[in-house]
Amino acid sequence: NAHIDAIERLDGQLNSFITRTPDRAREGAKAADAALAKGEGGNLCGIPLGIKDLFCTNGVRTTAASKILGNFVPPYESTVTANLLKDGAVFLGKLNLDEFAMGSANLTSAFGPVENPWKRKDSDAKLVPGGSSGGSAAAVAAGLVLGATGTDTGGSIRQPAAFTGIAGIKPTYGRCSRFGTIAFASSLDQAGPMARNLQDCAILLESMAGFDPRDSTSVDTPVPNYEAALKRGVKGLRVGIPKEYHVDGMPAEIEALWQQGMTWLRDAGAEIVEVSLPHTKYGLPTYYIAALAEASSNLARYDGVRFGERVSAPSLDGLYEASRAAGFGEEVKRRILIGTHVLSSGYYDAYYLRAQKVRTLIQQDFLKAFENVDVLLTPTAPSGAFARDEKPTDPVQMYLNDVFTVPASMAGVPALSVPAGLDARGVPLGLQLIGKFFDEETLIAAGHAIE
Ligand code: GLN
C-alpha cells in the first residue's frame, strides 16, 4: 500500500508508469501474506516490482511505448516475468520506456517523457532519466518500486541506472530468456534487473535467469547463487582498464571518477592493469548498423492487420502504409529506414555484412583481454543526466551516449553499472564493469567493492 500510495503521489510528475495495476498488486500481496502465513512463499514473496513495458504480461496491456500496438493485451506471460511471479513477486504496473527501446533519454515514448527524480543543485531543470529503461530507473530511484526489469540492447539498463544513481545488470546474452519480450534487435536484446543496490539486483537476476526451450538463444547452464558472490571480495582480482575508453572530449570529472574507481578496487586488494580493445572505435557505427538492420526486420510484423493500430485505406499496401505512418514515432521510422537501407541489395555487403565482421573483431578484443584480466572497469556514460531541453538536436549526437555500453553488447559479454558518486552539479554518475561470458558473479563482487 505504501508503494501504491507513492505512485499515486509522485508519478503524475515522473510519468514512469504507462499502466498501473494496483488491484492486481493488492491481490498479489494478499496471496503473498497467505503463503507466508503457511510458511511458504518464494524468494521474492510479496516484493513490489515494476515491469518495463516491453515484457508481455498476461492480461495486462503491453505497449512498447508505441501507438502501433494500440491497446494490445497479451494472452501470455514472458518467461522473465513468469519466473518473477513464480517466486512470489507482486507487479505494480508497466513502466515507461523509449518507443521499442530505441533511445538514450526516454524522450521517444508515445506516452510522454519520463522525468529523472534527481535535480541539479543549482537549477530546477527537468533532467532525463536515461534510456531506454528510463521508467524502470526513475521508478526505482524514486522508491516507487523495490526493483524493476529492464532490457539492454546497447546500454538501456546500464546508462539509465547511472543517470538515476541505481544499480543495473546486463547479463550475458542468453542468460535470460527473450521469450515474450518485444524484440528490438534479437541478437543483442537481453533482460536484466535494476534496483537500488547490487544485492537486490543479484536476488532479482537469480529469479529472472535460466534456460528456456522457447528461446533458441537461451543457454542451458546452471544459474549461480548471485547473492553469495557479494561476499567474495576482490583480493587478487585483475581489473583491466581499456585504454581506448579515454575518448576525446570526455569531461574531466568522468575521468576523475574512473580514477577513483581504480583506487577503490586497488585499496580492496585488486590489481589494476592497462589493456587494449583496439576495435572500440567501431563499436558505435557497427551497432547502429546491426541493431537497426534487425529492428527493421523485427518491426515488419506491425502492419495494422494482425493487431494494434489500423488505419483503413482502399488497398492492402495503403493500409500497411497508413497504419505504419500513424503508429510509429519519428525515431522508430528513422531506424526502420536506415535498417532497411543497410539490408537492401547493393548495400548489404558494404554495410550489414561488414558490420557483422567487425562485430566479430570487437568480440575477439574482449576474449583476448580476458586472457589477462578478470574484469574491465570503465565509466558507464560520457556524462551525467542532461536536461530535457539540452537534448541534442542531431540524432547521431544522441547515439554518442552509448559509446561505453555498446561494445559489451556487441560482444555479448555481461556488464553492470553501479552508482559511484555525484558530479559537480550533484547528479549521479555510474561506473561500468564488464566481465567474461557467464561470469556475472565476478562483476557483482567487483561492483560491490565500489557501491
Ligand atoms: N540507446 C541505445 C539505442 O538507442 C540502446 C538502446 C537499448 O539498449 N535498448 O539503441
pLDDT digits (tens, 9 = 90+) for 82-133: 999 999 999 999 999 999 999 999 999 999 999 999 999 999 999 999 999 9
Query: Active-site residue 52, yes or no?
Result: yes
**Is 410:283 a contact under the CB 8 Å cutoff?**
yes
Residue nearest to atom 4 of ligand 1 (CA): 103
In the structure grid, which three cell numbers stand for residue 300, read together?
515488419
**Is 193:205 a contact under the CB 8 Å cutoff?**
yes
280 pLDDT higher than 80: yes
4 pLDDT higher than 90: yes
**CA 95 – ligand 1 centroid, Å:** 16
pLDDT band for 250, please (50, 70, 90 cuts): confident
| The pLDDT value given to residue 398 | 81
Q: What is the mean pLDDT of residues 140-156?
A: 98
Q: What is the mean pLDDT of residues 417-426?
A: 96
Residue nearest to atom 10 of ligand 1 (CA): 102
For the whole model, what pTM was predicted? 0.97
In the structure grid, which three cell numbers stand for residue 182, read together?
518485444
| The pLDDT value given to residue 364 | 98
**CA 395 – ligand 1 centroid, Å:** 12
Beta bridge partners of 49: 91, 147
Report the DSSP pairing between strands 147-152 and 190-195: antiparallel
Residue 102 CA: which ligand 1 atom is closest?
Answer: 4
For residue 185, count other CB atoms closer than 10 A to its CB: 24
CA pair distance 406, 387, nearest whole angstrom:
23
Q: What is the mean pLDDT of residues 165-182?
A: 98
| The pLDDT value given to residue 221 | 96
**CA 324 – ligand 1 centroid, Å:** 21
pLDDT band for 397, please (50, 70, 90 cuts): confident
Q: Which domains does the chain have, with CATH numbers?
A: 2-229 (3.90.1300.10)
**Residue whose C-alpha cell is 559537480:** 424
Where is average pLDDT lowest: 269-283, 374-388, 391-405? 391-405
**ipTM above 0.85?**
yes
CA pair distance 337, 354, nearest whole angstrom:
19
Report the DSSP pairing between strands 375-379 and 428-435: antiparallel
pLDDT tens per residue across span 300-326:
999 999 888 899 999 999 999 999 999
426 pLDDT higher than 90: yes
| The pLDDT value given to residue 347 | 94
- CB-based contacts of 201: which residues, under 8 Å, 6+ apart? 147, 167, 168, 169, 192, 193, 194, 195, 226, 416, 444
Kindly state if the Cβ of 402 falls inside 6 Å of ligand 1: yes
